Structure formats: C-alpha cells, structure tokens
C-alpha cells in the first residue's frame, strides 16, 4: 500500500493553553512522537508565533486518524488541510516528528520558503508547505550526512 502525505495548518488557541505554550510543548511532542512511532507515521511540525504547520506521512488510515485528532484538539483552531496526496517516498522517513521552531530562528537563518509562513500565515497554501517541509527534510538529511561523515 502506498503512503500518503498530508499537509495542514492551524492557529494556536491560546485560551486552551492558558496563554502559555512552553509548559505544553515537550509533553505534546512526546505524545505525538509516541503515536507516530506506534502507527508507523513520520512527519514534521513548524511552529510559528501563532500558527502550527504540519506534515504527516504514512498509512492513509493512520494519517486520517491523526488529522481527525487535530480537528478535535481544543488547543487548535482553524485546522485546515492544504494538501493530501499519495507519495512514493517520505520526506521524514525514520523521523516520528521533527520540530522546526521558527520563533527561535535568527532572521538571517530563515529561508525565503519560510517567510510566507511567518509573515502571512493565513495565506499559506499547500505548495508553500510542501516547499518548506522539503527544505527542512533536505537540511535534516544534510545534517545526518555531515554527522556520519565526521565519524569516519
């Protein structure tokens, strides 16, 4: 069975978080990574100031379950699927959930692909997300290669 990729976004619903993200971030990432590992999913999360951008990859049934859970999660509002497609490969194979926190990135480190996500998050479309997640995937692979090469 061929894997699928889902790209979606949401707004952070601050009242559900008590207007504080940090106390919830690590436990949420741990929970999502466990779920993804159990269901053989991979993916990534881009965290902006007020928005979340996701990609999740794997079995269609598990991906749909993941998205349904996001729709029901009171910590999100405006959850919107932007692209859903069958994929011959995974961008984040072997990675249950990669985090890219744009809140801590230096403006000089932010590629143009992320500019739309930061400046105009309400106007982000599926192509914008695919481009941003592809760039993250490529940087992750480059980092893995560099670390492996350095060990030789």
Number of folded domains that form the chain:
1
Q: What is the CATH number of the domain that holds 20?
A: 3.30.70.100
* Cβ atoms of residues 30 and 114 within 8 Å: no
Summarize the confidence of residues 16-44 as an average pLDDT.
Answer: 86
pLDDT digits (tens, 9 = 90+) for 53-96: 999 999 999 999 999 999 998 888 899 999 999 988 999 999 99
pTM: 0.86
pLDDT digits (tens, 9 = 90+) for 99-121: 988 887 655 666 677 878 888 89
Q: Rounded to whole angstroms, how far apart are CA atoms 90 and 127?
A: 16
Residue with tokens 């007020």: 50
Summarize the confidence of residues 129-140 as an average pLDDT.
Answer: 90
Q: Rounded to whole angstroms, how far apart are CA atoms 14 and 132?
A: 25
* CB atoms closer than 10 angstroms to residue 12: 19
Is the pLDDT assigned to residue 141 strictly greater than 70? yes
Q: Rounded to whole angstroms, how far apart are CA atoms 83 and 124?
A: 11
Enclosing domain of residue 90: 3-151
């Amino acid at each position: 069975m061929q894997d699928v990729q889902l790209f979606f976004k949401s707004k952070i619903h601050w009242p559900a978080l008590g207007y504080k993200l940090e106390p919830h971030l690590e436990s949420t990432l741990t929970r999502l990574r466990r779920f993804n590992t159990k269901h053989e999913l991979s993916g990534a999360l881009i965290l902006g100031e007020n928005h979340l951008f996701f990609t999740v990859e794997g079995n269609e049934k598990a991906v749909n379950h993941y998205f349904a859970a996001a729709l029901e999660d009171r910590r999100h509002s405006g959850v919107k699927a932007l692209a859903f497609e069958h994929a011959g490969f995974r961008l984040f194979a072997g990675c249950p959930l990669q985090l890219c926190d744009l809140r801590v990135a230096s403006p000089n480190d932010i590629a143009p692909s992320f500019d739309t996500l930061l400046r105009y998050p309400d106007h982000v479309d599926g192509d914008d997300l695919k481009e941003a997640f592809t760039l993250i995937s490529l940087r992750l692979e480059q980092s893995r290669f560099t670390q492996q090469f350095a060990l030789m």
